[in-house]
Amino acid sequence: MKGFQGSFDKLWGYANVLRYGASHVRDHGSIVLVSGSPARKPKPGQIALSAVGGAVEALARAIAAEIAPKRVNVVSPGIIDTPMVALSGEDRAKHYQNVTKTHLVDRAGHPAEVAQAIIFAIENDFITGTTIDVDGGWLVAQ
Domain assignment present for 140: no
For position 19, what pLDDT does the model report? Answer: 94
Query: In this model, does residue 16 exceed pLDDT 80?
Result: yes
Domain assignment present for 108: yes
Residues annotated as part of the active site: 35
pLDDT digits (tens, 9 = 90+) for 115-137: 999 999 999 999 999 999 999 99
Domain assignment present for 141: no
Measured torsion, CA atoms of residues 108, 132, 76, 84, in degrees rounded to the nearest 10? 40
For position 139, what pLDDT does the model report? Answer: 92
pLDDT digits (tens, 9 = 90+) for 49-92: 999 999 999 999 999 999 999 999 999 999 999 999 999 999 99
Domain housing 114: 2-134
CATH number for the domain harbouring residue 37: 3.40.50.720
What is each CA distance from 15 to 2, 22, 56, in whole angstroms?
Answer: 20, 10, 9
Domain assignment present for 6: yes
Domain assignment present for 128: yes
Nearest-angstrom CA–CA distance, 33 and 121: 10
Q: How many domains does the chain have?
A: 1
Nearest-angstrom CA–CA distance, 41 and 53: 10
Domain assignment present for 142: no
Domain assignment present for 139: no
Reported confidence tier of residue 1, pLDDT bands at 50, 70, 90 = low
pLDDT digits (tens, 9 = 90+) for 25-42: 999 999 999 999 999 999
Domain assignment present for 84: yes
User: Nearest to residue 43, comparing CAs of 67, 11, 79?
Assistant: 79
Reported confidence tier of residue 141, pLDDT bands at 50, 70, 90 = confident
Nearest-angstrom CA–CA distance, 132 and 111: 15
